[in-house]
Structure 1
């Protein structure tokens, strides 16, 4: 049996299949991959792997399953930022497996996970925030929250409009950003506008409107390392309400 060590735990067996730490991988692509010329471009051995053969460039990462980077020639491919999945050719740029509709040089980072490209706003580089006003667009608590923003007309969660929220009065409760530790304080928050409260979980990709009768009475506090929101009638833990006895 002929074995070719490709590095980072990958082995080519007889130019017939690829093992990664003794596990057969990418078998559904064997009709496409040119196994004799298949090699690793760059890998961290676990969650990001770039490959090439004489015909194609391939990517397997925590952001995507194994795929061909379309319209990319192996001779014309450059990894710009390995950890963030930035790669480039002479005619297009990629973030992981996604081909961008613009070039990297046009990006203006505006905080959190948002970018300005010729006054169009994007979330995570490839989700266009439709209708966003670049002149008034701001990312709220970008260093901590990262995926909530607003402009003169709308509040945005990720790349979508939060239709229930009033942009002029929307803001996070400042108590969520104090030095007091509470469970999941890095991704669960509460916010208010003039008529409603909101529970936001940035990891679960969830924003929940809370109908409270008196917005001015809605607050937040930490008890026993748990973050509770409250109004006159209820407490809220991870967005779920419980009537105050």
Structure 2
């Protein structure tokens, strides 16, 4: 039976599903997320998380990896397989799991490693949701060869086929496409796209770039600049309000 949603969700923030089997950690997350204005629902295992995501349609998931019955990685895999792209912030106790968490076929948006600051987790979640929602007041289309990146709708098309990117993948790709030829260091991308700096940040950028490249295939314009970072090769055209720019 699916739990009832939090009776006090805050307008405009949405409902966060916390999937955590350690009660003490779950309580801390519940208190801090509620203080930040989110509605919160907590479940303690992967099977319940899959049911709750389907029935409650949360704004985002804070998803622990080490769960009973179905682990967090498998929960995310099943969600993506059924076409559910609810943003996921993973919580992991092991830094060496990062590559698995952000694996190309998995579609996670961000992660945080235990022990963590609850304030940092709330900030990370806010960054994920900003990337998901985008700026509805800015109509912008980026084009490069057979690629079309619609910043308003968060849609990417390559040679007529739609490419499904997570919110973080999309934000990273659009950031590179807006400034073709500019080489960004990993630290710059972490600051500009994720909105924070961290020791494991460079690896996070590398894995997300690999995700985008794998999904775009031969249409990918992203090139690696050895020992520096990444750049988009071809210059896009910018459309504002649906009309092409003449520059």
| TM-score, length-scaled by structure 2 | 0.27
The structure, 1 or 2, with the larger RCO (C-alpha pairs under 8 Å, 6+ apart) is 2
Higher-Rg member (1/2): 1
Query: Between Structure 1 and Structure 2, which shows a larger proportion of helix residues?
Result: 2
Query: Between Structure 1 and Structure 2, which shows a larger proportion of strand residues?
Result: 1
